[in-house]
Chains A and B, each alone.
Chain A
C-alpha cells in the first residue's frame, strides 16, 4: 500500500496546466482588489461585514449538517436495502439537484410564503398569514434540498463498489448491523461523504439565488449587492477574496478529517452485490424519509410550474417550446461535462496515487473556484479573454472553458472518491504483466472507477444545465440556454414564459439522471 514512486511527468504537467487555469480568476481578483486601495480597509473592517460573514458561516454549517443527515441515509436505503421501489426513489431523490435554486426559491416563496398558495387554500379555515419562511430556515431548506444529492451521488457510487466481504466478516465476528455499518462501512465511505459535503458547503458559500429570494443577508448577497449597485469592481473583487479565504479554511478543515487508512476492494472480478438489508417494519419510516425531500424539492416546484403553464394555456397565450435553448443547453452541458472530467482526471490520479504537498495544493486550488461568486470568475475571463484571446472571446469554446474551471471540483470529488477504491496493487500487477501505464489505466483502473466517473459527469452536466451568472456574461451572442430563458422571463415577471423552459430544464435533467442509473446498472 505504501508507495514511494514518483509521479509520471505527463500527469504532473497536465495537472499543473489545469491548476494554472483555475488560478486565472484568482489572479484577476487580486489584480482588481489591488485597485481598491484605501477604501478597502474601511469596508472590510466594518462591524457589519463581520456580522454578514458570520451569517454565511452559520448558513454553510447548517446546510452541511443537513445534507449529510439526509444524503447518507438516502444513499444507503436506495442501494443496500429492500426498500420498496428503491430504484424509483433513487431517481426521484436525485432530482432536486436539477431544480435551480433561483427556481426552487421562487416557487417556495410563491407556494409557502406568508400569503402564498397554501395560505389561500387555508384562508377559509381562518388562517390569515403563514409563519415566515424568509431568513435562515428558508435559505437552509432550499440549499439543503438542492445540494444533498451531491452526498447521495458520491456516497452511492462508493457503496456500490465497497467489498461486501469486509462487512460480512465483521458480522460473523459478532457485530450487529449498526455496529458493523459504523465501524466497517462508514470509515470506507468517509472520502465520499466528505467530498459530497464539501461540494455542498462550497456551493452554499457561493450561492446567490436562494439567499436573495429568501432574504438571508449572506456574504455572497453582500457581494452581489455591491456589484449590482456600484460600477466600481475593485471592492467587489476584494470582498470575493474574503470568500476565497473562507473557502480555503473550509478546505483545510476537510483535509484534516481525511483518514490515513484507505480501504480498497481486492478485485473487480470477485465483485458481487452486498445482500440487501431487510427493513421489515422500518420500510414505512424509510419511505417517508425518501418522500419528504422529493415532495419539497421536486413535486412542489414541478406542480407550481405546471400550474402556470396551464393558466397560460387557459388564457390562450401562445407557449413556445424552447427547442433551440434545449439543444444548446444539452450540447454545451455534454461537452463541458466531458471536458471537465478529462481535466480532473490527471489531478485525481496525482492526488490519490502520489499524495504530497504539491499535489494537495493543486487539488485545493481547484476547489476554491466553486466558492467564489460565479460573476467574479466570469468577469475575470472577460478581462483575460477580450485582451489576450480575442478569437475565442464570446465563443462556445470559451464558455466550456469557464464551466470547466467552475465545476472542476465536482468532477474531482467524484473521480478521487472512485480512485480511492481502486487497489494500487492491481495496477502494479498489470504493469508487471507488461501493460503500459495508459493500458493499465484503461484495462484496470477505469472499469473499477466507472460508477464514480459517471456520477462526476452527471453532476457537471446538471450544474452546467442550470448555470446562470457565468453563462449570461460569457455566452456567444444569440446563444440562449434553458437557464437564460428562465432568467429573462422571470426578470420581467412573465411567469408562464418562464415556466416552460424551467419545466423542460427539469425534465431533461431528470431524464439524464435516469439514463445514468440505467447505465450504471448495466455496468455492474
Chain B
C-alpha cells in the first residue's frame, strides 16, 4: 500500500522537473551589448523568416519576431498601449498601418526612406511605407473559363446572371474587403451596394481565405474568384503547371485591379528608433526586394528590382488611382457588408 501510494506523487514531481528541463526559452531573456529589435509581423513565417534571419546575421542585431494575423497584432498593440515591447510592425495589409497612423501610434520615417517608393504605395503622412506590392486579380478555372472570351473587362460585370453559382468570395477576409473599399471609392456608395447585392444574388460560394478561394477555383468548385495575384504562382511552384487555376489582371484603372502593399512602420513607443529605421531601409534595399520578387512572388517596389518571370511588369499594370489612407476606411465597407446581410 505504502509504495503504491508514494509513486504517483513522485512521478508528478519528476514529470514537472523533466518538463521544465525540456522547455527551452525559459531563461533566454538575458540581454547583451548588441541591439535587440522586436518585430510584430502578419507576414507568413515560412515566407519571410529566411530574409529576417539574413538581416540578423548581417547586422549582428538580435531580432525578436512575433508572427500573428494583422487583426491580432493590431488588437495586441492596442491592448499593450504605452507598454508595448514592439519596435517595428511589418503587416500584410497597409490598412492596418493606416489605422495605427490615425491613432497617432507611428513615427514619421525619414524622407530619404520615403523617397525610395512611388507615392501611391506609401503613407501620405510619411508614417508607413510599402515594402512589396500585391495586385488584385480574378482567378479562374482553366477548364471552364477562356479568359479572352469569357472574362469581362471590369469586376463590376460579375453581377451578370451568367455568373450564377460560379463565383467564390471571402467576405470575412481583410484583403478581400479591401476590394469592396476600392469599389466604393471608384464608383461611389450606391454602385458598391448594387455590386455587393448583385454578386450576392448570383449565390457565390463563401471561403474563409483567399488561398482557399484559389484552391476552389483550381478544383473547379467555382469558376472565378476575387483574390491576390501571388497565390497562383505560389501554388504552381508547389504543384507544377498542372495547377487548375490562373490569374487574370484587370485593365483600365478598374477597381478590381487595385494594388495594395505589405507595409512597414516604426512605433512611437519603440526604444530603438534608429535600429528600427535602419531595418525599414533594409527591407527596401535590393537584396530584400529581390527576395520578395522571387520567394513570395510579390511586386518589388524599390531599388529597380523586376518581378518574377511570368508576372506582368508593375508599369504595365493599371490600378485605380486611390489615396492609400482612404483605403483604410474599413468601417464604411463593414457597414455596407452588414446592411446587405453578407456579414453578421
Q: Which residues of A contact B (CB under 8 A)?
A: 48-49, 52, 113-116, 212-213, 215, 217, 221-222, 224-231, 233, 269, 311-312, 315, 317, 324, 327-328, 330-332, 334-335, 338, 375, 379, 382-383, 386-387, 390, 393-397, 442-444, 446-447, 450, 453, 469, 472-473, 475-480, 484-485, 488-497
- A281 CA to B99 CA in the complex, in Å? 67
Question: Which of B70-78, B281-289, B317-325 forms part of the interface with chain A?
Answer: B70-78
Beta-carbon contact of A312 and B209 below 8 Å: no
A460, chain B: closest CB distance, angstroms? 12
Contacts of A226 in B (CB 8 A): 344
Beta-carbon contact of A444 and B5 below 8 Å: yes
- A37 CA to B177 CA in the complex, in Å? 26
Contact partner of B25 (CB less than 8 A), chosen from A116, A328, A490, A494, is A328
Chain B minimum-CB-distance residue to A438: B9
Please tell me if B55 contacts chain A, counting CB pairs below 8 Å. no
Contacts of B76 in A (CB 8 A): 379, 382, 473
A465, chain B: closest CB distance, angstroms? 13
- A-B pairs, top 6 by smallest CB distance, nearest first, are A331-B23, A334-B19, A492-B44, A477-B64, A493-B211, A488-B45
Contact partner of B38 (CB less than 8 A), chosen from A311, A335, A390, A477, is A477
Beta-carbon contact of B219 and A492 below 8 Å: no
Beta-carbon contact of B6 and A477 below 8 Å: no
Q: A227-B75, A317-B238, A492-B211 are in contact. Are A472 and B67 (CB under 8 A)?
A: yes
Supply 14 A–B pairs (Cβ within 8 Å), ascending by A: A113-B219, A228-B71, A229-B174, A231-B78, A311-B239, A338-B15, A379-B79, A393-B83, A453-B8, A473-B72, A473-B76, A477-B64, A488-B45, A494-B234
Contacts of B238 in A (CB 8 A): 312, 315, 317, 494-496
Beta-carbon contact of B24 and A324 below 8 Å: yes
Contact with A along B3-14 (1 / 0, CB 8 A): 011101100100
Contacts of A479 in B (CB 8 A): 25
New A-B pairs, 5, CB < 8 Å, besides A52-B344, A227-B71, A491-B44: A229-B343, A324-B24, A477-B66, A490-B211, A492-B44
Beta-carbon contact of A269 and B1 below 8 Å: yes
B330, chain A: closest CB distance, angstroms? 7
Q: A231-B75, A492-B44 are in contact. Are A328 and B24 (CB under 8 A)?
A: yes
Beta-carbon contact of B67 and A493 below 8 Å: no
A283, chain B: closest CB distance, angstroms? 35
Residue pairs across A and B with CB atoms within 8 Å: the count is 179
- A403 CA to B84 CA in the complex, in Å? 22
Beta-carbon contact of A327 and B67 below 8 Å: no
Contacts of A473 in B (CB 8 A): 68, 72, 76
Please tell me if B235 contacts chain A, counting CB pairs below 8 Å. yes
A226, chain B: closest CB distance, angstroms? 8
Contacts of A317 in B (CB 8 A): 238
Contacts of B24 in A (CB 8 A): 324, 327-328, 331
Q: Which of B16, B47, B65, B172 has the most CB of A within 10 A?
A: B172
Beta-carbon contact of B16 and A493 below 8 Å: no
Beta-carbon contact of A335 and B80 below 8 Å: no
- A397 CA to B215 CA in the complex, in Å? 39
Contacts of B235 in A (CB 8 A): 493
Beta-carbon contact of A375 and B72 below 8 Å: yes
Contact partner of A379 (CB less than 8 A), chosen from B47, B75, B234, is B75
Contact with A along B47-91 (1 / 0, CB 8 A): 100000000000000001111110110111011110111000000
Please tell me if B29 contacts chain A, counting CB pairs below 8 Å. yes
- A508 CA to B46 CA in the complex, in Å? 22
- A222 CA to B20 CA in the complex, in Å? 38
Contacts of B69 in A (CB 8 A): 228, 472, 491
Contacts of B8 in A (CB 8 A): 442, 446-447, 450, 453
- A222 CA to B334 CA in the complex, in Å? 13
Please tell me if B30 contacts chain A, counting CB pairs below 8 Å. no
- A395 CA to B23 CA in the complex, in Å? 12
- A230 CA to B70 CA in the complex, in Å? 11
Contacts of B23 in A (CB 8 A): 327-328, 331-332, 334-335, 396
Please tell me if B33 contacts chain A, counting CB pairs below 8 Å. no
- A50 CA to B215 CA in the complex, in Å? 33
Please tell me if B201 contacts chain A, counting CB pairs below 8 Å. no
Chain A minimum-CB-distance residue to B77: A382
Contacts of B334 in A (CB 8 A): 229-230
Contacts of A469 in B (CB 8 A): 72
Beta-carbon contact of B344 and A493 below 8 Å: no
Please tell me if B240 contacts chain A, counting CB pairs below 8 Å. yes
8 Å CB interface, B187-231 against A: 206, 208-209, 211, 214-216, 219-221, 231
Contacts of A390 in B (CB 8 A): 83
Please tell me if B26 contacts chain A, counting CB pairs below 8 Å. yes
Beta-carbon contact of A115 and B221 below 8 Å: yes
A516, chain B: closest CB distance, angstroms? 12
Contacts of B47 in A (CB 8 A): 492
Contacts of A491 in B (CB 8 A): 44, 69, 209, 211
- A472 CA to B4 CA in the complex, in Å? 41
Chain A minimum-CB-distance residue to B341: A48
- A477 CA to B37 CA in the complex, in Å? 11
- A387 CA to B85 CA in the complex, in Å? 11
A112, chain B: closest CB distance, angstroms? 12
Please tell me if B331 contacts chain A, counting CB pairs below 8 Å. yes
Beta-carbon contact of A327 and B22 below 8 Å: yes
Contact partner of B74 (CB less than 8 A), chosen from A231, A394, A443, A475, is A231
Chain B minimum-CB-distance residue to A311: B239
Beta-carbon contact of B214 and A493 below 8 Å: yes
A152, chain B: closest CB distance, angstroms? 23
Beta-carbon contact of B25 and A396 below 8 Å: yes
- A332 CA to B209 CA in the complex, in Å? 30
Contacts of A49 in B (CB 8 A): 344
